Amino acid sequence: LIAMPLAVLLFLFFPRLPGAFWAIPRGAEATTGLSDTMSPGSIVKLVADYEPAFRVQFVSAAPAPEERYWRGPVLHDFDGHTWRRSSGAFHPRERLQYIGRPYRYRVALEPTHQRWWLALDTPAESPASNVSLTYDNQLVAAEPVSEPVSFDAVSYLRTRSLEPLSASSRREDTARSRDNPAALALAQTLRQRAGSDAEFVTATLEYLHRGGFVYSLTPEPLGADAIDDFLFNTRTGFCGHYASAFVTLMRGAGVPAHVVTGYLGGEWNPVGGYFVVRQSDAHAWAEVWLEGRGWARIDPTAVVAPERLRRGLLDLLPDALTTRERLLRSSEWLTRLLQQWDAANAWWSDHVVRFDYPAQLDLLGRLGVRSPDVRYLGWAFMLALTLWLAIIAWHIGHAARPAPPDALSRAYARLCRKLARVAPARALHQGPLSYAETVSARRPDLAPPVRALLERYAQLRYGPPEPGTREEGIEEFRRAVARLSLPAAAPVDISH
């Protein structure tokens, strides 16, 4: 207990300097969550993962569930089966007009061992100096997220581009493979019937809506021409299937488009006052370039399973729940207990695990220190340590000082002094009854009164309470000791 304040002081004020010495590199660990590639069925694997991906706390009102798109990796390259992030070509980021109100919020991101940070679509700026806001509106950090990260962000739900699409971006997002010829033919047919790219988008969504497509977590395996097989044979798939097929159709007609992966929705935790976005909320959608507007989010899942946008995936498809999650959701008090446990984990992660050097400087700022830096941390630690040592020294000195003797102890000490004049002195280890035996053995003539007094002392000090007040018994003992008169031992006759 004495060391607890020191541990708190070390935690709060010992400088947590950034760098290799203080941040020891962790070993390689498995990547969790979204990947930088997507094949039509890859996102299905995340559905059974109920672990939190991140938590979000809005400063004011949150967007509606169908508007909570959390932007992750943007995939541009397609080989006919698998989507990947851009190969690394540089593209200028177009200037945007932000429409509507800004949403301000704080994200607590769990470790993913990937470099992207998740933000509400569309982030207006980078939330940290080591994070870049890319040309396709991804937040990409300089280092993988190997520890929990918290950051504040600002996003707008609607944007408009203020400049035309660059030639390099147009080439990237209209490129198509030689696979899936049937999908290419369908795209060209639909585009010929449409008067504009916007009408072509509407016609493609109508095709998916009326084409007998089914939203399912257990789609059939696809053949070599995966998009053709999905559009014309199986017609059963998850969000990744629909996003991939839709972008393929757009590119087949020369309309710039790409796939965006991330998360959709989030579960409200009333205990902690935040949304929990789980791995099972993983989602994929499309973005299409429309002249006069710029990049427009198009979610083809909305025309096949519109309830997915307003409700969580596990509410829409309860068969995807594991036995554990089905049990937890079946009981209101278990759900409440789970929310309380998650809120406790979030508090621990936010206030202990994420308490780093910037958090220390923020604490100093709240304590009134202007422009805090590592020097102030050192001074604060030394001042707090000195104060703690002074308190400990005072405590030790105060504890070492013997307490003043009470009335019973004073009377007993007086009795022992009287006996020491006419009999052997009491040894330090002797109790009252043992001392009575010693005195009686050396002075049998004093045995009756000495035994009576010492036994009375033992009774008052160690015995059970007696009828009447203890104070009266102590006063009687004190008076008896005062009245006690002990004759000296008779001289020994050595003449015989």
For 76-118, list the strands marked E by DSSP: 77-78, 83-84, 96-99, 103-109, 116-117
- Residue ending a domain, among 400, 418, 436, is 400
347 located within any domain = no
Which residues, including other chains, have CB under 8 Å from residue 320's CB and lie 6 or more apart?
47, 48, 217, 280, 313, 314
Residues in contact with 157: Cβ distance below 8 Å, sequence separation at least 6, in sequence order? 63, 67, 100, 103, 120, 121, 122
Instruction: Specify whether the CB–CB gap between 163 and 141 falls below 8 A.
Output: no
> Which among 286, 304, 337 is the end of a domain?
337
3-state DSSP: the chain helix, strand, coil percent, rounded to 5?
45, 20, 40
Please indicate, yes or no, whether residues 158 and 292 belong to a single structural domain of this protein. Answer: yes
- Cβ distance 227 to 183 under 8 Å? yes
6 belongs to a structural domain:
no
Residue 195 domain-assigned (yes or no): no
Q: Is the pLDDT of residue 22 over 70?
A: no
The residue with greater pLDDT, 465 or 248, is: 248
- Whether residues 374 and 300 share a domain: the answer is no
Residues 296 and 158 in one domain: yes
Could you tell me if 38 and 75 are in contact, meaning their C-beta atoms sit under 8 angstroms apart? yes
Whether residues 412 and 396 fall in one domain = no
pLDDT digits (tens, 9 = 90+) for 83-141: 999 876 667 788 999 999 999 999 999 999 999 999 999 999 999 999 999 999 999 99
Read off the pLDDT of residues 255-314 as tens digits, 9 standing for 90 and up. 999 999 999 999 999 999 999 999 989 999 999 999 999 999 999 999 998 887 766 655
Catalytic pick from 239, 258, 281, 342? 239
Beta strands in 176-311 (DSSP E): 214-215, 236-237, 257-264, 267-269, 274-278, 282-290, 294-298
Residue 28 pLDDT greater than 90, yes or no = no
**Cβ proximity of 138 and 73 under 8 Å:** yes
Residues 156 and 73 in one domain: yes
Question: What DSSP line would sit under 291-319, residue for residue?
Answer: TTTEEEEE-THHHH-THHHHS-HHHH-GG
Same domain, 476 and 443: yes
| Claim to verify: residue 288 and residue 375 sit in the same structural domain | no
Question: Could you tell me what percent of the chain has a pLDDT over 90?
Answer: 53
Q: Indicate the residue among 337, 368, 391 that finishes a domain.
A: 337
Q: Give catalytic status of residue 299 as yes or no.
A: yes
Catalytic residue check, 283: yes
For 413-465, write each residue's pLDDT tens digit: 999 999 999 888 999 889 999 999 999 998 998 899 999 999 999 998 888 87
User: Do the beta carbons of residue 394 and residue 459 sit within 8 Å?
Assistant: no
pLDDT at 265: 92
Range of the domain at 313: 31-177+253-337
Evaluate if residue 206 carries a pLDDT over 60.
yes
Could you tell me if 40 and 130 lie in one domain?
A: yes
Catalytic residue, from 228, 281, 299, 342: name it: 299
Is position 239 annotated as part of the catalytic site?
yes
Are 330 and 412 in the same domain?
Answer: no
- Angle in degrees, 0-180, between the axes of helices 407-422 and 432-442, rounded to the nearest 10: 20
**Gap between the Cα atoms of 487 and 484, Å rounded:** 10
Could you tell me if residue 16 is inside a domain? no
| Cα–Cα distance measured from residue 364 to residue 371, given in angstroms and rounded to the nearest whole number | 9
Q: Does residue 496 sit within a domain?
A: no
Residue 49 inside a domain? The answer is yes
The verdict on residue 188 lying in a domain is no
Q: Which of 283, 342, 350, 416 is catalytic?
A: 283
Q: Are residues 303 and 385 in the same domain?
A: no
Residues 436, 366 share a domain: no
The answer to whether the Cα torsion of 457, 461, 463, 469 is positive or negative is positive
* Same domain, yes or no: 326 and 436: no
Report the distance separating Cα 454 and Cα 471, nearest Å. 17
Is 130 among the domain residues?
Answer: yes
Query: Tens of pLDDT along 348-407?
Result: 777 666 666 666 666 666 666 666 555 655 666 677 777 767 877 777 776 656 667 788
What is the tally of structural domains in the chain? 3
Report CA torsion sign: 184, 289, 285, 37.
positive
pLDDT in the model for residue 27: 44
